[in-house]
A and B are shown apart, each in its own frame.
Chain A
Amino acid sequence: MTLPARSRPTRSASFAATAEEHLDDVYAYLVYLTRDRSLAEDLAADTFEKALRTWRRFDASRGSARTWLCQIARTTALDWFRAEERRRRREERAAEPEAVDGGLSPGLSPELEAALRELSAGEREVIALRVLLELDGDEAARVLGISPTAVSTRLSRALKKLEEKVTVHV
């Protein structure tokens, strides 16, 4: 699998321009992570609010703006997962699956959509980063906080599992 290289924005770009440039990527990543487009919208907005507060600390020499935004998006999503889990426990509805808002993406085939939904959030996440956003191994590793080798392993397993599930649904 070959992934095209992306240009690396510099710190000199304004926050507004950076946000506009990477909003689709952050949103797509969050959709895959949460399986919920409505939730992904809220989390994306939260992500950019947090990013704005820490924009002064962003250092382009340590990673691209997209990687930095994806890291913030991931933390935001995980915080939401944690809060949601606590809420479910409190309301003793942990066993009940939450209704999700629409599909992952309108153009996806039903088999692929179903297969993606059956993957774990972690598996969808690595597919989103490496396939959808086309981050390279180092960038994805930085977002996930693991080594590039671990990213490759995780991606390989996720894609294999996805293929198996697509086959089942076909």
Chain B
Amino acid sequence: MSEPLLNEIRATKPAAPPALHERVRAIAAQEPAREPFLARLEWRRLVLVAPATLAVALVAGTVIGLTRDDVGVGGGDQAVSSAPVAESRDAATPETTFQGTAPPAAGAVEPSPGRLQRYDAELSLRVDDVEDLSRATQQAMRIARSLGGHVAAVSYDSTPGGAGSAQLTLRVPVARATDAVEQLSGLGTILGQRYGIQDLQPTVDDLGRQITETEQRIARLVRQLASTSLVDDERAALQIQLDEARRQLAELRKLLSGTRAEGALATIHLSLTTEDVQATPGGDSRIDDVKDVLAWEAIALLYVLVVAGPLVLLGLLVWLAFRLHRRRENARLLDQP
């Protein structure tokens, strides 16, 4: 194209009229309004936010994992974790349990003096070899007897020079249960333990009250039967009631006796094994907890991606289609004079 024509176009460049200058000056004089939050979001800022969010998630996962309540403290040579758990079956018979692989804190699971309680304990120990297994089994039975208890059941299984195991059920007076557990714990390396205390006192009190009431009822019936004014039918009916009351009284006394027996002796299940079962060190447990929390975060993220992914993809496709349509429409509009 000829240069004169180009020069003519340049030389005759339209200039904005003074009125437009005034309009634009008036517009420019306004203080820029604060943009909405979404309008201020930029991709570059989001790119910075993403790693920051990831870092926060990692730090939060680590902190939560390290400070979780169910992570215990390593104890002694076992260097193992423990997890005290308190729960109750019902209000009348609360039960306290302790699970873990380290000895409980002194007094934490001791029976309360003066109250009737059912005390159960499970103790798993590892011994070095079959000889130790035999020695520990004998020693466990001696401990039970020395504390005024007895051996309820014994199961012993071993091969000479090989692996072996033994299961003992020991009954010792509840008052000596803690001593028994402490002495038994010294027979090997603790692999796991569980203690449970169930308060039987409300049950005993309730049974005692029922027995008293039943005895009073029986005395009343006996007095009525002693009367000479009763007709035969009335006497027969009262006699039936008396027999039933006596039967109930016998059952209640039997229940009370059984409950008292339950509360008198603690049951200790002792497992001894020569198998090298790996106890979980406390440090690894903490790392595992951190891993758990991070894994849950990853699962949550994956869940969000799975749920939101298709919607984001759909939104992206709609946006691309809209953009393509807009470009075509613009081209058509600009193709007109």
Contact = CB atoms under 8 A, between A and B. Distances in A.
Interface residues of A, number: 55
Given A37-B14, A41-B20, A166-B5, A49 B35 contact: no
Contacts of B1: 159-160, 162-163
Interface in B27-63: 27-30, 32-33, 35, 39-40, 42
B17 interface: yes
A106 B12 contact: yes
A121 B9 contact: no
List the 10 shortest-distance A-B pairs measured between CB atoms, nearest first: A122-B334, A107-B12, A16-B28, A27-B16, A159-B1, A105-B12, A81-B333, A31-B14, A121-B334, A105-B14
B278 interface: no
A9 B337 CA distance: 33
Interface of A: 1, 14-16, 19-20, 23-24, 26-28, 31-32, 35, 37, 40-41, 44-45, 48-49, 52-57, 78, 81-82, 85, 104-109, 112, 117-122, 125, 127, 131-132, 134, 145, 159-160, 162-163, 166
B10 interface: yes
B335 A16 contact: no
B277 interface: no
Contact of B336 (A15, A55, A120): A120
Given A53-B33, A120-B337, A28 B17 contact: no
Contact of A23 (B16, B42, B336): B16
A31 B14 CA distance: 7
A13 to B, nearest CB: 12
Nearest to B42: A57
Nearest to A37: B14
Given A23-B16, A44-B20, A105-B14, A16 B334 contact: no
